[in-house]
Amino acid sequence: MKTKKKPVAVNIILGLLVLLVAGFFIARAAGWTGQKNEAKLLVLVNPWNQISGEVNPEFTIIEGTQMVDSRCAADLEDMLRACRTAGHSPLIVSSYRAWSQQEEVYEEKVGELMSQGLDRETAEADAKSHAAAPGYSEHQLGLAVDIVDEEYSLLDEKQGDTATQQWLMENCWQYGFILRYPEGKRGITGVEYEPWHYRYVGLSAAEQIHELSITLEEYVDMFYA
């Protein structure tokens, strides 16, 4: 008994369906992988969340001397290039810090406050909202950079009024970065307003944080808690 052959058109349609289904699952798998990888960029470090374990990212040197996590290097370079093309003068003054370097920054701030008459305990408590204690700084991740305007290099609130910072605040999300410590958010971030401190979180997260006008703490709580 002869077996009836399926029409060529049916075979073509079935083949296309198989390809579509396979393509769907491949795309989903790629999306899951992308989400998993981006989630790794969202590690929360603040006065209440210490860096867990050793952080040993793969580093890339940019701008001649600045060391950053390789995952953010290309986007950071693109952001700086675009900012300069727009007529501004961004300058990275701090990037990755080893434990000992962060300890020096913290102790310098504590000493400054003690010179103003505060006792050690009070100075340490106050310092944490300005300079993180070792183990509590995003700079130790290699995903944070302090950027100033070359024409105004002071790390104070006026930095936020410079043309460079105005451009960065408006456009950094397009390159996967967020202004980490926005004005009026100390109650959430635990850190005073720092219009120079930018954190890499990945393109998707940066866009969502920008659109929602929220902090990294709020974003992680909403989508990853």
Q: Which residues contact 154 (CB under 8 A, 6 or more apart)?
A: 148
Cα(first)–Cα(last) distance of the chain, in Å?
Answer: 64
Torsion angle, alpha carbons of 103, 147, 215, 85, to 10: -160
217 CA to centre of own chain:
12
Using an 8 Å Cβ cutoff, are 183 and 167 in contact? no
The CA-atom distances, in angstroms, between 225 and each of 5, 31, 141, 219, 221 are 55, 20, 21, 9, 5
Q: Which residues pair with 210 in a beta bridge?
A: none
- Whole-angstrom Cα distance, residue 34 to residue 74? 17
54, 77, 194, 218: the active-site residue = 194
HSE (side-chain half, CA atoms, 13 Å) at 23: 6
- Whole-angstrom Cα distance, residue 36 to residue 181? 25
Residue 194 bears catalytic tag: yes
Q: Which residues pair with 61 in a beta bridge?
A: 67
Catalytic residues: 194
